[in-house]
Amino acid sequence: MKHFAIAGLCLAMASSAALAQVNAGEQKSDPNLPFTVTQITTLKLPWRIAFLPDGRMLITEKVGGLELVTQQGAQTPVANVPAVLWRGQGGMLGVYLSPHYAEDHNIYLTYSEPGEPGGSSLALARAELKIGNGTASLENLKVIWRDGERGEGGQFGAAVAFSPDGKYLYLSSGDRQRMTPAQDPNQPLGKILRLTLDGKPAPGNPMAGKVGAATVPVIDPPEDTEKAKTQPVIRTYSFPGPNLTPSETWASGFRTPYGLAFAPDGRLWELEHGPRGGDELNLIKPGKNYGWPLVSYGHNYNGVPIPSPETRPDLTEPVIYWVPVIAPGNLMFYKGSMFRQWDGSAIASGLASKALIRIVFDGKGGARTAERWDVGHRVRDIEVAPDGALWMIEDANPGGLFRITPLGMAVSAPMAAASAQPATPAAAAPSGSDSDHAKSIIANNNCLLCHRVGKEGGDIGPSLNGVGTRRTEEQIRAAILTPPAKTSTGTANPMPPMKGKLSDEDLNALVNYLRSLPAQP
Ligand code: HEC
């Protein structure tokens, strides 16, 4: 017995070592989606979602806007947003709530800020969000951190994560497709910075107190990592004050860090695009160098090879990499009541892959992919709402805003937008006597105490008109037999379960009738 236990232990250790540097690129998508995707509305190139505690959302639009959006899809433009340079991958990028939002109503924005002598660079601003009756605006907007270099290139990074204690702000700054600055300690490009909530270098950073060169070279994006080594300097940039980049830097060597999130155990994870191949999930540790553009599991877009990370043990390897790429949109950790089985998992969104990927963690710094689901849209961002539903936005113009709820869960969907396609066409209307029978079942079970059908009934539950366009047949059946304990707004669900109280025949008649009800009474 003992021998087996030891053998088992050795196996476990071997497999945990083998967990490092797993290529997840060949993973097939799971054909069975365990959720329903409902389109709510569309936005103009939406980039990030930040949920307010009441379930409304702030959503950035890369073209330059910030919208306050209700769960029904109604949009109010937020006034006083800063000017952005919308071009390629730049524009209005991230939006994040302050960790003390309940008290300070502050939000943080990241965007590509235009300026002299042309082009743009990443800026981080903080402002107070004021919501009025049908209005929303930003007050006292202040840029608390900026890269003043300007110039060309996409890949701004622009993701923000707050330390679990709410004291520090981690900002990912992409390499702007210029590559070599990711290895230059004097430039913020290709770094993860750790700042105070006011945008100052955070105490305790690996190079705290150190200042960098007063002047740095600016280059245009080179064709590949080989050309980058001799890319001509087009001009220099002089910092207006001391160059605090070294004091701000937490880790370096990143390419396109669009995903940045803390796991429930306090570990910080980063997700980035590789070039052709080589997307990476990295476990972020202070002072480490993650290798771009010195090494990569991918090749340059023009096929020029890049040395493999295995050739440079001094650089930190990704925990998971993807060849071919998933082209990540963001990384988030799930916690909520709708998908309890995913608590503690991360979800990565995919642009080119049009996928959602669930990632699970071993609590010791290891991670592996669980399911991969093809959702048919370039997913820029996925976030969790206060009620536990997932919401995602599509990288397109117009780009959809979608709500994701568990399959078969009877949750009153926010009213679908006019453009939303019914998940399943409603069944043909039952003949007169069948529908009379269904109506009598409804009357006998007091369904109209809470629900409206046509002009009859109450408003405690959602109108049953159009339920067939919001819900699948199975979902309607489940809603009636075993309603969830809580409604979608988190309050106790008053609906009595009908399990054991309806014959199969009556249930079928009822479901068919409900599916036949027109969306508008
Ligand atoms: C005491 C109030 C109450 C009664 C009685 C009641 N319901 Fe409900 N029902 C609700 C509430 C509240 C919800 C929304 C739950 C949620 O948000 O998840 C709901 C949800 C539903 C849904 C899902 C709707 C959707 O759009 O997702 C269906 C279908 C449904 N009820 C059918 C019925 C039928 C049929 C009856 C009678 C047999 C009935 N209900 C009786 C309160 C009630």
Residue 127: per-residue pLDDT: 98
In this structure, the answer to whether residues 185 and 290 fall within a common structural domain is: yes
Cα 475 to middle of ligand 1, angstroms: 12
* Same domain membership, residue 455 and residue 398: no
411 lines ligand 1 (CB under 6 A): yes
pLDDT at 60 over 70: yes
- Is position 176 within any domain? yes
Are 300 and 400 contained in the same domain? Answer: yes
Same domain, 202 and 129: yes
Cβ-based burial of 508 (10 A; exposed 0-12, middle 13-18, buried ≥19): middle
For residue 401, tell me if it sits in a domain: yes
**For 396, which DSSP code?**
S
Strand partners, 268: 262, 284
The token pair that represents 178 in the structure block: 């210029």
Instruction: Name the packing angle between helices 473-481 and 504-516 (round to 10°).
Output: 130
Are 377 and 458 members of one domain? no
Please tell me the distance between residue 285's alpha carbon and the centre of ligand 1 in angstroms: 49
- Domain presence at residue 6: no
Is the pLDDT at 327 greater than 50? The verdict is: yes
- pLDDT at 408 (0 to 100): 65
Q: What are phi and psi of 6, to 5 degrees?
A: -65, -45
Report, as an integer, the average pLDDT of 220-225: 96
Kindly state whether residue 326 falls inside one of the protein's structural domains: yes
Mean pLDDT along residues 295-317:
95
Q: Is residue 429 within 6 Å of ligand 1 at its C-beta?
A: no
How far CA 333 is from CA of 110, 161, 263, 470, in Å, comes to: 21, 11, 6, 27
CB-side exposure of 398: number of CA atoms within 13 Å? 9
Residues 326, 466 share a domain: no
For residue 10, pLDDT beyond 60: no
Are 58 and 104 contained in the same domain?
yes
pTM: 0.74
What is the token pair recorded at 418?
Answer: 């006019």
pLDDT band at 406 (very low <50, low <70, confident <90, very high): confident
Mutate to test the pocket of ligand 1, among 442, 450, 465 (most ligand atoms within 8 A of CB): 450
- In this prediction, residues 449-453 reach a mean pLDDT of 82
> Cα–Cα distance between 97 and 386 in angstroms, integer?
13
The model's confidence at residue 410, banded by pLDDT at 50, 70 and 90, is low
Phi, psi at 445, each rounded to 5°? -105, 15
Residue nearest to atom 22 of ligand 1 (CA): 479
Whose C-alpha lies nearest to ligand 1, atom 37? Answer: 447
126 domain residue, yes or no: yes
CB 385 within 8 A of CB 406: no
Please report which confidence band the pLDDT of residue 125 belongs to, taking 50, 70 and 90 as the band edges: very high
| Torsion sign, CA atoms 480, 482, 486, 491 | positive
46-51 and 57-61: which strand pairing?
antiparallel
From the CB of 467, is ligand 1 less than 6 Å away?
Answer: yes
The protein residue whose alpha carbon is closest to atom 41 in ligand 1 is 447
Alpha helices in 67-196 (DSSP H): 101-104
- Tell me whether residue 384 is in a domain: yes
Number of domains forming the structure of the chain: 2
User: How far is Cα 234 from Cα 219, in angstroms, rounded to an integer?
Assistant: 5
CATH number of the domain residue 490 falls in: 1.10.760.10
Distance in angstroms (rounded) separating the CA atoms of residues 98 and 251: 23
The rounded Å distance from CA 493 to ligand 1 centre is 9
**Distance from chain centroid for Cα 411:** 22
From the CA of 484, give the closest atom in ligand 1: 18
364 and 251 assigned to the same domain = yes
* Sign of the CA dihedral with 477 first, then 481, 485, and 487 last: positive
Q: Helix count (H) and strand count (E) of the chain?
A: 8, 29
Q: What are phi and psi of 174, to 5 degrees?
A: -75, 175
Shared domain for 137 and 226, answered yes or no, is: yes
- The residue whose CA is least distant from atom 12 of ligand 1 is 461
Q: Do 269 and 377 belong to one domain? A: yes
Residue nearest to atom 19 of ligand 1 (CA): 461
Strand extents, DSSP E, 116-162: 120-131, 136-146, 157-162
Residue type, 432: G
Domain that holds residue 266: 21-406
Closest-CA residue, ligand 1 atom 24, reads 412
DSSP SS3 for 279: strand
Axis crossing angle, helix 432-444 with helix 504-516, rounded to the nearest 10: 110
Decide: helix, strand or coil at residue 400.
Answer: strand
Cα separation, 100 vs 74, whole angstroms? 26
Q: Is 187 in the pocket of ligand 1 (CB under 6 A)?
A: no
Q: Which pair of structure tokens corresponds to residue 313?
A: 């043990």
Q: Is 377 exposed, middle or buried (0-12, 13-18, 19+ CB in 10 A)?
A: buried
Asked if 85 and 114 touch (Cβ cutoff 8 Å), the reply is: yes
Q: Is residue 296 part of a domain?
A: yes
Across the chain, mean pLDDT equals 90
Q: Looking at residue 332, what is its pLDDT?
A: 98
359 and 245, same domain (yes or no):
yes
**Alpha helix stretches (DSSP H) within 23-123:** 101-104
- Phi, psi values for residue 398, rounded to 5°: -75, 150
What whole-number percentage of the chain has pLDDT above 90?
A: 78
* Strands 136-146 vs 191-196: parallel, antiparallel or unpaired: unpaired
Ligand 1 centroid to Cα of residue 472, in Å, is 15
- List, for residues 145-192, the tens digit of each pLDDT value: 999 999 999 999 999 999 999 999 999 999 999 999 999 999 999 999
CATH number of the domain at 264, please: 2.120.10.30
pLDDT in tens, 244-280: 999 999 999 999 999 999 999 999 999 999 999 999 9
Q: Cα(192)–Cα(196) distance, rounded to whole angstroms? A: 13
Are the beta carbons of 113 and 124 closer than 8 angstroms? no
Q: Is residue 427 in some structural domain?
A: no
| Gyration radius of the chain over CA positions | 26
How many angstroms is it from 481 CA to the middle of ligand 1?
10
- Looking at per-residue pLDDT, the higher value among 407 and 378 belongs to 378
What per-residue confidence (pLDDT) applies to 216? 98
Number of C-beta neighbours around residue 269 at 10 A:
24
Per-residue CA distances from 244 to 167, 183, 187, 188, 219 (Å)? 19, 16, 9, 9, 21
DSSP structure class, residue 365? S
Please enumerate in sequence order all residues whose Cβ is within 8 A of that of 151, keeping only pairs 6 or more positions apart, or say none: 118, 119, 120, 121, 176, 178, 218, 219, 220, 234
Q: How far is the CA of 189 from the centre of ligand 1 (A)?
A: 53
**Which pLDDT score, from 0 to 100, does residue 267 have?**
98
Query: Is there a single domain that holds both residue 338 and residue 453?
Result: no
